[in-house]
Amino acid sequence: MATSHDPGAPEPRLDEKTALLSGRDMWSTKSAEQAGVPSLVLSDGPHGVRRQRQDADHLGLYDSERATCFPPAVALASSWDPDLVGRVGEALGREARALGVDVLLGPGVNIKRSPLCGRNFEYFSEDPLLSGVLGTAHVLGVQSQGVGSSVKHFAANNQETERMRVSADVDERTLREIYLPAFERIVAEARPATVMCSYNKINGTYASESRWLLTQVLREEWGFDGLVVSDWGAVGDRVAALLAGTDLEMPGGDGHTDAEVAAAVRSGELDEAVVDTAVTRLRGLADRVRAGTGPCAVDFEAHHRLAREVAADCLVLLRNENRTLPLAPTGQFAVIGEFAAALRYQGGGSSHVNATRIDGPVNELRALLPDAQVDFARGYDTTGSSDAARLREEAVTLAAQVDTAVLVVGLREDDESEGYDREHLLLPPDQVELVRAVARAARRTVVVLLNGGVVSLEGWHDEVDAVIEAWLPGQAGGGAIADVLTGRVNPSGRLAETIPLRLGDTPSFLNFPGEQGHVRYGEGVMVGYRYYETAGVSVRYPFGHGLSYTDFDRTDFQVTADGPDTAKVRVTVTNTGDRFGRHVVQVYVTAPRRPVSSPARELRGFAKVALAPGESTTVVIALDRRAFAYWDTRRHDWVVAAGQYRVQLADNAHDVVATAVLDLPGDQLVQPLTLDSSVSEWFAHPTVGPALTSAMASGPTGVQTTAAAEGTADTLRLLSSMAMRQFLQFLPGQIPHELLEQLMRISETSAEPVCG
Ligand code: BGC
């Protein structure tokens, strides 16, 4: 097997080259050994290797090789811990290598625009910073083992409804501030081997055919130097896709698109250099990943232990009235729910892993509580084949006899999956009825939730004592749940997405999943907590929320500018409780008035710390320029406005603990005025405004303008939105034309800070 390209090797012919750029079969590329291009194996996925053999399907219907199923992204993100995610990445990389996989198809870093997206379990967060930081750690981990990552799905693939052809109609600022930054960060900080373009269109153009996306933004602006692979079947027009920057078409089909590309070169429609560039990138990928090829032994037991450790740090303790948790080591407990025996731990579709083993919560709890009595009742049935009332009765009878009832409930396998979106946020009604009935009967009730997409807690939340959101926790999730229930692990997960009160409260509600081939991202940048906090909409639990069995003090919160648009945040965290625990420091920024509407606050930095009882540490978080910038659609660039920024230390997106004010000078930019600029823009211009005011007051004719003379605030307000062109028509002769010409020239050369 060739491991690197020999410059003396013969160049492949045109037909060979076009053939190299589409898959050989579902999971591998073709080879041209003489030309130094080996066949490469690509496999899903984000939280476990799904290595299928030749008789493979593509959506996980047939079993793949056994591999560790780590917690899917929805859970991983709740750890808010890049180090932990990096360790998962390393383990994935090792398993991929051992199974002969060159490129692992993940992570998925699309933003959770709506809680209804059927694939939210495969994505990290509603926030681009959290998604980007964790995605970076994932890629660095996988690639440290010599395996390439494929960051997906680029871009604006935020729903499953019509996912293969819907046009995501998103404005420029929203793309730049919400939907692209996670990809951008990963490209800059982790240098992924490949990026996978998505199925959907963006503003009418298929992602696979978008030169703006795949070449201008991804390569020219961000410096991506890897290979762009299509999502499986995402290429409709292969020539257009190659021209746009999609190098490799997967899975490839019968070869007729290879012939189309060759014909396009021969007819002059396509420059052969485009094909050559894509082949060079494919070769570059081969060189990169094959350099890491070699024997790689996997200790599946160790990976299972890692999966458990990780899952435990991902669980989010949402509610814990009267310190119901952790459970006492002795006493009588009832564990209720089919999922407590047969864990729901991953989602359906292409990411489906053939787990090496699966731990059920009830067995694991029994193992950790040898001195307690732990009984089990099924409580509900996920297939609908048993009598729900009878199962409920049995569970209620048991719950009435014990100290604490632990209910494990959640979404059923087919309630959510790749390929379709949900239509509501509700748990199955029989499970809700069960929770309410048990809560009435039991002395104390704990609910453990297993779900890939957010579920509503309404109708039962206030009736139970404690709630753990376990998401889909991977194959070792049962042990992790037992660890947190018993206090063997102190919970430290934080919500990576908001839990709303009602579906109707969610920002994309009126525009999801779209109609007639289009989905309009009408909420703009107000996604997730950005919307709830800005509009003052109450939620059940805010983004960033999560409780602990210990307490943390935050002191000496300081923010200091260390450049015109950068700052350092410092805070000392002390574990004031009596057990070891981890805490997530969250830093948000509120912008001053600026030329664009701004969310009430945005997450701009975070760090997770581990502290023994009584221990303190000082956390330093750097806020870079981007923490203060908005995307300016006139300049098509990032701009920092001048003014006072509030930097907030917060427990979550809603509860601010401390605030510091940072005065930033803002970018000094030339803001040329034209006759189409508004009167208010003319007057607000820092150099031109005062010159105009004084010139008008004493005008060349010595006559004051009507506006200046009558000069009331109301009059100026009335005129302020007029273009200068119209203003001049309404008040002819009041401002000499030469003066305007002169002021416009001044505005073309004087750099001024950008203000609101
Ligand atoms: C999915 C990708 C996946 C690919 C290969 C597609 O349908 O969208 O996420 O990697 O299939 O299984």
For the chain, the domains span: 14-59+92-288, 301-541, 552-664, 679-750
pLDDT higher than threshold 90 for residue 181: yes
Q: Which atom of ligand 1 is nearest to the CA of 42?
A: 5
Contact between 260 and 291 (Cβ < 8 Å): no
One of 44, 102, 231, 247 is an active-site residue; which one?
231
Q: How far is CA 263 from the centre of its chain?
A: 40
How confident is the model at residue 708, as a pLDDT? Answer: 52
Q: Which of 46, 64, 75 is nearest to 344 (CA)?
A: 75
How confident is the model at residue 720, as a pLDDT? Answer: 86
Which residue minimizes the CA distance to atom 6 of ligand 1?
A: 232
Could you give the 3-state DSSP secondary structure of residue 748?
Answer: helix
In the chain, what's the furthest Cα-to-Cα distance? 98
Measured CA to CA, the distance from residue 247 to residue 250 in angstroms comes to 10
Which residue minimizes the CA distance to atom 8 of ligand 1?
A: 231
Could you give the 3-state DSSP secondary structure of residue 271?
Answer: coil
Neighbours of 309 (CB within 10 A): 17
Cα 430 to averaged position of ligand 1 atoms, centre (Å): 33
Task: Identify the band that residue 698 occupies on the pLDDT scale cut at 50, 70 and 90.
Answer: low
109-145 per-position pLDDT tens digit? 999 999 999 999 999 999 999 999 999 999 999 999 9
Fold designation for 301-541? Rossmann fold (3.40.50)
Which residue minimizes the CA distance to atom 12 of ligand 1?
A: 350
579-609 per-position pLDDT tens digit? 999 999 999 999 999 999 999 999 999 999 9
What is the DSSP track for 367-433? HH-TTEEEEEE----SSS-S-HHHHHHHHHHHHTTSSEEEEEEE--GGGSBTTB--S--PPPHHHHH
Burial class (CB in 10 A: 0-12, 13-18, 19+), 284: middle
Cα 350 to averaged position of ligand 1 atoms, centre (Å): 6
Cα 64 to averaged position of ligand 1 atoms, centre (Å): 15
Which residue minimizes the CA distance to atom 11 of ligand 1?
A: 232
Which of 231, 235, 249, 417 has most ligand 1 atoms within 8 Å of its beta carbon, as the pocket-test mutant? 231
Cα 418 to averaged position of ligand 1 atoms, centre (Å): 9
The rounded radius of gyration (Å) of the Cα atoms in the chain is 29
Identify residue 266 by its one-letter amino acid code: R
How confident is the model at residue 2, as a pLDDT? Answer: 41
pLDDT higher than threshold 90 for residue 566: yes
Measured CA to CA, the distance from residue 132 to residue 207 in angstroms comes to 20
Identify residue 167 by its one-letter amino acid code: S
Which residue minimizes the CA distance to atom 7 of ligand 1?
A: 232
Cα 127 to averaged position of ligand 1 atoms, centre (Å): 23
Question: Which range, of 215-224, 285-294, 364-373, averages the lowest pLDDT?
Answer: 285-294
Measured CA to CA, the distance from residue 497 to residue 126 in angstroms comes to 5
25-66 per-position pLDDT tens digit? 999 999 998 888 999 999 998 999 999 876 566 665 567 899
Q: Which atom of ligand 1 is nearest to the CA of 50?
A: 12
Q: Which atom of ligand 1 is nearest to the CA of 108?
A: 9
pLDDT higher than threshold 50 for residue 691: yes
Measured CA to CA, the distance from residue 502 to residue 223 in angstroms comes to 42
In 49-145, beta strands by DSSP E: 66-67, 103-105
Distances (CA, A) of 331 to 327, 372, 564, 656: 9, 5, 60, 39
Protein residues with CB under 6 Å of any ligand 1 atom = 44-45, 58, 105, 152, 231-232, 350
Cα 417 to averaged position of ligand 1 atoms, centre (Å): 12
| Tokens encoding 710 | 């009558």
Could you give the 3-state DSSP secondary structure of residue 176?
Answer: helix
Task: Identify the band that residue 752 occupies on the pLDDT scale cut at 50, 70 and 90.
Answer: confident
Measured CA to CA, the distance from residue 484 to residue 549 in angstroms comes to 10
Contact between 345 and 474 (Cβ < 8 Å): yes
Which of 117, 150, 196, 232 has most ligand 1 atoms within 8 Å of its beta carbon, as the pocket-test mutant? 232
Cis peptide before 732 (omega within 30 of 0): no
Q: Which atom of ligand 1 is nearest to the CA of 163?
A: 8
Task: Identify the band that residue 618 occupies on the pLDDT scale cut at 50, 70 and 90.
Answer: very high
Backbone φ, ψ for residue 620 (5° rounding): -120, 125
DSSP bridge pairs for 656: 650
Residue with tokens 């899975």: 251
Backbone φ, ψ for residue 719 (5° rounding): -90, -10
Q: Which atom of ligand 1 is nearest to the CA of 350?
A: 12
Measured CA to CA, the distance from residue 604 to residue 530 in angstroms comes to 12
Q: Do domains 14-59+92-288 and 552-664 have the same CATH topology?
A: no
Task: Identify the band that residue 4 occupies on the pLDDT scale cut at 50, 70 and 90.
Answer: low
Residues 14-59+92-288: name the CATH superfamily: Glycoside hydrolase, family 3, N-terminal domain (3.20.20.300)
Domain 552-664, architecture per CATH: Sandwich (2.60)
What is the DSSP track for 391-402? HHHHHHHHHTTS
556 is catalytic: no
Cα 411 to averaged position of ligand 1 atoms, centre (Å): 22
Distances (CA, A) of 238 to 166, 206, 515: 19, 12, 27
